Amino acid sequence: MASVRVFATTSEGTVIETATDSRGRYTVPNFNADSDSGIVNVSIALTHITDSGESFSVMNGENAISLNFGIDPATTDCKINFESWNVHDDMVASPISTDLWPDAASIYQYALNAESLAISLRVELDTESTLRVQAWCDDPNLGCDTAQDGAYFISKNELGDDTPPIIAMLPARSSSQSAGVPDNGEYHEYGHYFLSMQAGDNFELPPGDKTTVATTRTRQHATRL
């Protein structure tokens, strides 16, 4: 996975941050194995890093979905592989279960592909307001109703001042086995995000492409599959 955020924690509690390159490789900078006592934890978070900041994050609740690996500096090889389809027993995914990690990684990759298409069409990404892809969403304030199987786009500030743009994905739609993946979720909803970046405050979903979901805070637009 390209350009995901990587955190390494030393035994002294120092957190060193980096990101994977275009081939998913990473190195931990500013760490001296000869003088430092060792790294005790490495984690990767599904947040996409660009030269200008964070462009999107795959989240569950308030946290970016991450995969963590505790390390014994005395016995662990320095090369830690976080393959999305080869999660081993010593790894812990949060705040989801480890068996959902491949689905979360797929959501990240599809969102990255959609972003790459948007950039090729010369959109200027709004990295000051990171897009949140809310996977396994069950928050009624976001219009997530577990009786439905869908994905929804919520434009910036629609929930109130300074709220980010959100793609909310209900639990059944968050599975990589969901019918129509990825066209009925990540690509489709990112298309609304793309248009919202072009239209700014004038953005609204076309009448034929939405239903309205009442929530306690606002009325959300829910895209039909």
Can you read off the two tokens belonging to residue 21? Answer: 């390159």
Residue 162: what residue type? D
Q: What is the pLDDT of residue 36?
A: 59
Report pLDDT for 70.
87
Q: Which of 67, 65, 47, 66 is nearest to 56 (CA)?
A: 47
Q: Is residue 174 within 8 Å of 136, Cβ to Cβ?
A: yes
pTM: 0.84
C-alpha 154/C-alpha 46 separation (Å) is 20
Amino acid at 207: P
Token code pair at residue 224: 């039909």
Report residue 63: phi and psi, to 5°. -120, 140
Residues 49, 21: Cα–Cα separation, whole Å = 10
Cα of 146 vs its chain's centroid, Å: 20
Closest CA relative to residue 150, chosen from 216, 220, 79, 90: 220
What is the pLDDT, as a whole number, of residue 225?
31
Residue 171 amino acid letter: P
What stretches in the chain show pLDDT beneath 70? 31-37, 76-78, 146, 148, 201-225
Task: Give the domain ranges of the chain.
Answer: 4-222
Instruction: Please give the Cα distance from 56 to 190 (Å, whole number).
Output: 11
CA angle 155, 222, 161 (to 5 degrees): 25
Beta carbons within 8 Å of 108's beta carbon, 6+ residues apart: 1, 4, 46, 48, 58, 133
40-91 pLDDT, tens digit per residue, is 889 999 999 988 889 999 999 999 999 999 887 777 666 788 887 788 888 9
Q: Which long-range contacts (CB under 8 A, 24 or more apart) does 29-35 make?
A: 33/78
